[in-house]
Structure 1
Amino acid sequence: MFGVNHLGHFLLTNLLLDRLMLCTPSRIVVLASDAYKHGTIDFKNLNSPAESWKQILTSYCDSKLANILFARHLSYRLQDTGVTCYSVHPGVVLTNLGRSFPYWLKVALFPLAWLLLRTTTDGAQTSIYCAVQEGIEKYSGGYFKNCTFTTVKPHARDDGVAKRLWEVSEELTGLAAE
């Protein structure tokens, strides 16, 4: 999950950076999640296999913390370039993520999901806000939830971990050699 949710975004963003700097002002919006609150960055075990539901959930939380730390450090690196970066929590959105659930579980969960979860349109609002809203540049590197800047927990503001994650991500994607 670390590879898909973090390294893929890290690599794609870095490959597009030169173009983004030519088209300033420009913005990068990183899809994160409040699940980061339960995440940790274990540099000895970044891409551990996730087989049980608990391991899958833990890996998801860890990858969302990585997204926030990535956006934070990227913003630091992009100071005074005209490119800003934000991480966003879309809310808990009703998607096809549960398509592989057993039929009985889908039947049991669907009424609750339909009542409690956001639509995809509602879930997209904070991403859209961060992509187009004027006047939020001072919050570059910040985390947005419900179209509002939100202070993250201390472990998601650790600049030392963010810098090390950047360096490890460069190595894992081959960008460090460039």
Structure 2
Amino acid sequence: MTSSPTLSKSELTAEFVNPIISSTISVFEMMLGCTPKRTGLSLKQDVIPQHELSAVIGISGKAAGTLVLSLSESVGKGVLDRMLGITAEEINDEVCDAVCELANMIAGSAKAQLEHLEASISIPNIITGKGHTVHYPSNVSPICISFESEIGAFSIEAGFSDR
């Protein structure tokens, strides 16, 4: 019998880590002209992102889950400045649009590396404010991948389960 083994939720989430890391680095280098360095990898114990600006993308297919690009206000404004040369004084529609586009590129690149999961990605949604929550599939402990870059610290958070 040649059936493929079913991955546990944590194994499935872990399968996404390398494509997410490589996609994040390549998109930041290409679109922002900066090279992020991974500074940490941990299982999250809560549903509150590290920073006050989150681009949230739903993923469906053979796996379902959530991918979050979590940025501080200053990094969000840096994304807008580096992508479009526009300076913002606060988180506004332009900052949100630039962060959405960046998250969409990261998710799209990671999706291409995970073709076997036949993943579809949603349009990113932005959530702002300190202490906001993001919900992941039931019984999933999301992974948090922390980065440092020339424009500041940020993280990618992801949690997936099989369907």
Q: After TM superposition, is the score higher than 0.5?
A: no
TM, length-normalised to structure 2: 0.31
Which has more strand, going by share of residues? 2
**Structure with larger Rg:** 1
TM, length-normalised to structure 1: 0.29
Q: Which structure would you say has the larger RCO, counting Cα contacts within 8 Å and 6 or more residues apart? A: 2
